[in-house]
Structure 1
Amino acid sequence: MNEAAPTKGLTFRRFKNGQSPWDPQDLTKKIFQQDKSYKCPTYVHRAPPCQGGCPSGHDIRGWLAIARGMDKPPVAGVSWQEYAFTRMMEANPFPASMGRVCPAPCEDGCNRNEVDDFVGINGVEQYVGDWAIENKLQAPKPPELSGKRVAVIGGGPGGLSAAYFLRQKGHAVTIHEAHDELGGMMRFGIPGYRTPRDMLDAEIARITSMDGVEVKTGLRVGRDVSIEELDRNFDAVFWAIGAQKGRPLPVPGADAVNCITGVEFLDTFNRGWLFSTAKKIVVVGGGDTSIDVASVARRLGHVTRSHRHDDAAASPGEFGYAAHDVASALEREGVSAVLTTLFPVEKMTAAEREREDAKREGIDIRGSVMPLEVIKDENGVATGLRMCECSMKGNVPIPVEGTDFVLECDMIISAIGQMADLSEGLEKLDSGRSSIAVDGLYKVRNVDKHFAGGDAIRPHLLTTAIGHGRIASETIDHFLHGEMEDKRPKVDVHQFNLLEELHARHLDPSPYDHLQVRGTDHAKFAIHNYEDRGSTQIIPHTQLFKGHFGYVARSTRDERHVDADSVLGDFAERIVGFTEEQAQTEGKRCMSCGMCFECDNCVIYCPQTAVFRVTKKDRAVGRYVDTDYTKCIGCHICADVCPTGYIQMGLGE
């Protein structure tokens, strides 16, 4: 569905007018004359597609239920925002950051797309993350130290995530970071107008301020500290060194002095060292990094007159100037930035919103073209990029003969991919493809007590690296306890746990007396007629009663649009976060796929009053209704009218 112009009405109907799946006489017999059934309602939890598609494994449905007001804080005096923040931190310690920059695969898979438009998940996440920063919320207090020590190599999203979750499991952590500051790609690969530095600093500080977390910056493992030293001093090692080397253009002439990679460009910019003198820049790519490169180039412009502090570019620490600040202290003229991609523009991997912003800011995006050769002058300086039109066969570009042309330029930036830097003492970790090879538990192959995650094993999203850190921390925890797992769950996310929910509300089942009984519907030791399939199944939209949901327009975050004439030197944030009302509205739009959201349909439509509400004092998420099996006749109506697919017909007693 086109995000810019969602359908202004319902798109789903189960039946057309006059249609019915039942013969009226047969239905009457089923309801009023049946006296027994071998199938009755069971309550089955399954993972929603938003959660299954989230690389960090967020319990998205869970914190949207909090935003909508269904899941109330179990402790008096706790706001819904704090309760939602705590839930978010169980899977991802960077809600404010990821609410801004994650391309939201959760929204792409949202079942609400089948009704009107997806739920604005990123917007709610950003709102809660920003609220937590404004109200100075800290991470949950970690447990006592276990006596085990883990070295985390790399202070980016993957390493910080692993450090956070390892400390929450009781282990001491030492983060080793080659840069002078933590943040990795969140700081050195993404411009500050996308990840504001004060926000990023606040989210990182929550992790590093925990007792038992030590940080060592300006230290490169392999050169300053050997792997052998890590083995002697730590019980386990987690590698999260990222993909710090950009891939150069695979064409003749790419060794020109003014032909660099996008990683180098953004790293230099975000360190405050970048002062471009180029007037014409060509960026080759198509992903979010290439958009960032082109956007930064437009904002920087080119230097026409320098000030005395420009010499600080080679040593920014002396004056403390960042490129954001320096940009406003320099007189600049406009830069012509052309972004080229192999794919048609509408099929670029960059998010549509980022692509449209780039066009608005004056970036010329050209699709279906491929580079052929970097044209150099007698001094080895690139003066142009020879290209041609192309079509795509899968991921392989096919040149179109007779379509060659040259883009004149002063600088060429290659943003076509990244790889890990495994030089200077890290060669034993190299899989042979400039990456670290791991097994399904994120253990480094053929290297004892070493684990890895993030872009070092496969360049992907920041959220993916955070998820790797969370999962690897669980594996490392098992390893430190001497009980390694065999495999991870099929749906490897932070799952809803009914027992934990009942425990939080002091509704734990009674102890089991180990006496044999027939049926558990009246037993206090059992969670009756409930099954948890969340780790193995994702519920599709076809198993929801979508006709329950009316059209509700999606809340969208406002944006501060910058046009081509005013983009120079503009490094202020573009996204305007949700209000509380907008966040709650999006929470209410969530269809709670795979989990009861207390709509009462099953209670209202049951012809035998077999389905009933649990008493208010005994209610919890997932325990809102129950079934009297002595009344149930198995007519299936409750399952048919369940909007969330939580009710399944099954055998039970």
Structure 2
Amino acid sequence: MTEAIEKHTFRRFKSGESMWDKADLTQKIFQADHSYKCPTYVHRTAPCQGSCPSGHDIRGWLAIARGMDKPPSQMKWQEYAFERMVQANPFPAIMGRVCPAPCEDGCNRNEVDDFVGINAVEQYVGDWAIENKVTLPEPPALNGKRVAVIGGGPAGLAAAYFLRLKGHAIVLFDAHEKLGGMMRFGIPGYRTPREVLDAEIERILALGDIEVRLNTRVGTDIELDALNREFDAVFWALGAQKGRPLPVPNADAVNCITGVEFLDAFNRGWVFSTAKRIVVVGGGDTSIDVASVARRLGHIDAAHAHDAPLPTGFGHTAKDVAGALHREGVNVVLTTLFPVEKMTAAEREREDAKREGIEIKGGVMPLEVLTDADGRARALRMCQCTMKGAVPQPIEGTEFEIECDMIVSAIGQMADLADGLERLDSGRSLIAIDGVYKVRGMDKHFAGGDVVRPHLLTTAIGHGRIAAETIEHFLGGVPDDKRPKVDVHQFNLLEELHARHLDPQPYDHTQIRGTSDEKFAIHNYEDRGATQIIPHDDLFKGQFPYVPRSKRQERHVEADQVLGDFGERIVPLTEEQARKEGDRCMSCGMCFECDNCVIYCPQTAVLRVPKKERAVGRYVYTDYTKCIGCHICMDVCPTGYIQMGLGE
């Protein structure tokens, strides 16, 4: 046990080391009783939030989970945390399941023991909100402006949500029969349970004044010029609905399809038919989804009249009918250019795929689709390769074939900008935007999500949130020309004080000297959240002992049991586990009320704010008449909230 603690607990200095250079130790001691520096309370963005594409105030809702930021009376902490979450992301239950959590990679707790289980807490709170029928904030009255949102996926739904909260009427167009975009049609239901997705979508629509027009394709069913006439602004969130085919000869064979087509067919209810051997080319999460779904679907020995078989090997059979047929497993090989350990897919997904019987070949590249006399793919010719940056380099003499009945290309996606939408195409089957999400060369048109840059669902949600802000400013006559360097949903101390009825007094703008006793100012506080992310070496990490992470359990599916298993794999946290993860958060860049500065100040210059005047970020203050600028409060601050600034 001692060895484990020694291994996992941070130490600023090892035995025999010192922060003092012997040559100037004496001088430092003699200067320790005076300084022109004094402590300033500096808010900076936590790296978890800076790493989150949606801009979640992660530190904020973890502070609620730990009990530091207490909810108003009669409100459960889960509801309070949910309210904080949806200020940046209206899909906590879905994102808590499928987001690969770059926030956890950025977590400063990695420098102590292990990251905080951010994703797991998000899922717990999101599920609790659904179970307890928690609603979104009440929107304001309509202001007379109408905005068209094209696409009902994560970017479009997020934009509609945030725009409605700003008082705009929304008309949401989608070419599908249901909303959800890639959350519904690009990810299997055992990863994004449809009842959870439906609940989070319905919660947005329940705000009112969001008109939904399904089965409507803009460009054909409604022309682009009609949008310009009818709406004050347009947000394009079409997504990337077309997969990229393999860049090799014969990739247009009838039984060569893309990962997007495969998952879309499955999620619409088409079931796999007669292919027994499948090769999936990719390496990202989409390729894992394709391979995993294929293993679960299996194959049937013969097509039937009611199957309406397609050339690709899919038949339109209801799941209950398909379940009555005799199905057998399929052999699935997933290939990737990179070595297996360097695949872009999440490690957890990769290991699950192996456990479920999927063979993964790393460091190989496709050369040619080999076809039979009927023009159907019978094998994929490949070779080993090395990577020079993002470009594969074939290794001569290593060619081999993988026999198959179907090839699925999951190597990337692009938007469908044909049939009336050609004006939007940047030339790369995507929409080009400027720094404020405005479509280049088109007034009052904005865009976000995969149609701009195929990436994570969370990224698309972040685009929707940011674009809603820029559209709001555009409609208000003060369009943005740039966005903040750290473009996340920022903690705002004035809003925090206002929520607790602690607003500063009005300021008459009379120039005065010495404002430390005035009530119109927020003293010794600086907000650098929009420009700085706090690094781990600004924290006193010795405050944090080794505490193991509360990990979500998973229901592992073995290869011989995967056929027909579409149950959810993740087991959510309990309330106790969620609160424990909140306790593990180091609150980087924000005071978490540990009292170190009060205890260790040798001059008793650091004092607690009177209890009735406290708020998040306003727990202590400094009496500058006592402060000698010794830096001790900064040195022992676990969160890096205290920085030394120039005083008088």
- TM-score bracket for the superposition, by shorter chain length: over 0.9
Paired AA for residue 53 in structure 1? S
Change (3 A) 1:31 1:172: farther
Which of the residues 6, 12, 15 maps onto 2:13?
15
Find the counterpart in structure 2 of residue 48 from structure 1: 46
Provide runs of 4+ in structure 1 moved above 6 Å.
23-33, 306-309
Paired AA for residue 223 in structure 1? T
Q: Partners of 1:327 and 1:596 in 2: how far apart?
A: 57
* Cα displacement string for residues 161-215 of structure 1 (whole angstroms, at most 9, x for unaligned residues): 0000000000000100000000000000000000000000000001112111110
Q: Secondary structure at the match of 2:369?
A: strand
After TM superposition, the score normalised by the length of structure 1 is 0.95
Paired AA for residue 113 in structure 2? D
Q: Partners of 2:276 and 2:454 in 1: how far apart?
A: 31
Which of the residues 284, 289, 293 maps onto 2:286?
289
Match runs of 1:613-624 below 5 Å? 613-624=608-619
**How far off is 1:642 after superposition?**
0.4
Q: Is the 8 A contact 1:307 1:329 kept in 2?
A: no
Match runs of 1:345-356 below 5 Å? 345-356=340-351
Paired AA for residue 117 in structure 1? D
Find the counterpart in structure 2 of residue 456 from structure 1: 451
**How far off is 1:476 after superposition?**
0.5
Match runs of 1:354-365 below 5 Å? 354-365=349-360
Q: Partners of 1:309 and 1:510 in 2: how far apart?
A: 74
1:273 aligns with 2:270: yes
1:99 aligns with 2:102: no
Paired AA for residue 640 in structure 1? D
Which of the residues 44, 68, 71 maps onto 1:70?
68
Change (3 A) 1:484 1:121: same
Q: Partners of 2:143 and 2:204 in 1: how far apart?
A: 18
Find the counterpart in structure 1 of residue 471 from structure 2: 476
Structure 1 residues 208-217 or 280-289, which shifts more? 208-217
Q: Partners of 1:459 and 1:33 in 2: how far apart?
A: 56
Find the counterpart in structure 2 of residue 84 from structure 1: 81
Q: Is the 8 A contact 1:372 1:386 kept in 2?
A: yes
Paired AA for residue 183 in structure 2? M
Q: Secondary structure at the match of 1:565?
A: helix
Sequence identity percentage: 77
Which of the residues 379, 382, 398 maps onto 1:384?
379
Q: Partners of 1:632 and 1:414 in 2: how far apart?
A: 66
Paired AA for residue 215 in structure 2? G
Paired AA for residue 57 in structure 2? D
Find the counterpart in structure 2 of residue 123 from structure 1: 120
**How far off is 1:34 after superposition?**
5.6
Q: Is the 8 A contact 1:306 1:330 kept in 2?
A: no
Find the counterpart in structure 2 of residue 140 from structure 1: 137
1:602 aligns with 2:600: no
* Cα displacement string for residues 22-54 of structure 1 (whole angstroms, at most 9, x for unaligned residues): 479988997898654310110000001110010
Q: Secondary structure at the match of 2:462?
A: helix
Which of the residues 156, 161, 172 maps onto 1:159?
156
Structure 1 residues 16-25 or 47-56, which shifts more? 16-25
Which of the residues 608, 624, 629 maps onto 2:624?
629
Find the counterpart in structure 2 of residue 565 from structure 1: 560
**How far off is 1:329 after superposition?**
3.4
Find the counterpart in structure 2 of residue 58 from structure 1: 56
Q: Is the 8 A contact 1:382 1:409 kept in 2?
A: yes
Q: Is the 8 A contact 1:270 1:322 kept in 2?
A: no
Change (3 A) 1:25 1:243: closer
Q: Is the 8 A contact 2:272 2:294 kept in 1?
A: no
Q: Secondary structure at the match of 1:375?
A: strand
Which of the residues 433, 448, 467 maps onto 2:462?
467
* Cα displacement string for residues 532-564 of structure 1 (whole angstroms, at most 9, x for unaligned residues): 000000000111111111000011101010000
Q: Partners of 1:248 and 1:283 in 2: how far apart?
A: 12
Find the counterpart in structure 1 of residue 425 from structure 2: 430
Match runs of 1:118-517 below 5 Å? 118-304=115-301, 310=307, 323=319, 325=320, 328-517=323-512
After TM superposition, the score normalised by the length of structure 2 is 0.96
Q: Secondary structure at the match of 1:20?
A: coil
Paired AA for residue 17 in structure 2? Q
Q: Is the 8 A contact 1:281 1:337 kept in 2?
A: yes
Change (3 A) 1:415 1:313: closer
Change (3 A) 1:552 1:9: farther
Q: Secondary structure at the match of 1:355?
A: helix
Q: Partners of 1:517 and 1:29 in 2: how far apart?
A: 37
Which of the residues 575, 579, 585 maps onto 2:574?
579
Q: Is the 8 A contact 1:7 1:116 kept in 2?
A: no
Q: Is the 8 A contact 1:273 1:313 kept in 2?
A: no
Q: Secondary structure at the match of 1:78?
A: coil
Change (3 A) 1:612 1:326: farther
Q: Partners of 1:25 and 1:403 in 2: how far apart?
A: 63
Q: Is the 8 A contact 2:274 2:303 kept in 1?
A: no
Change (3 A) 1:8 1:25: closer
**How far off is 1:651 after superposition?**
1.5
Listed as ranges, the gaps of 5+ residues in structure 2 are none
Q: Partners of 1:459 and 1:152 in 2: how far apart?
A: 18
**How far off is 1:600 after superposition?**
0.7
Q: Partners of 2:45 and 2:510 in 1: how far apart?
A: 33
Q: Is the 8 A contact 2:10 2:545 kept in 1?
A: no
Q: Partners of 1:462 and 1:177 in 2: how far apart?
A: 17
Structure 1 residues 226-235 or 305-314, which shifts more? 305-314
**How far off is 1:20 after superposition?**
2.8
Q: Secondary structure at the match of 2:219?
A: coil
Paired AA for residue 516 in structure 1? Q
**How far off is 1:516 after superposition?**
2.8
* Cα displacement string for residues 578-605 of structure 1 (whole angstroms, at most 9, x for unaligned residues): 1001111111101000000111111111
Listed as ranges, the gaps of 5+ residues in structure 1 are 1-5
**How many residues are treated as equivalent by the alignment?**
641
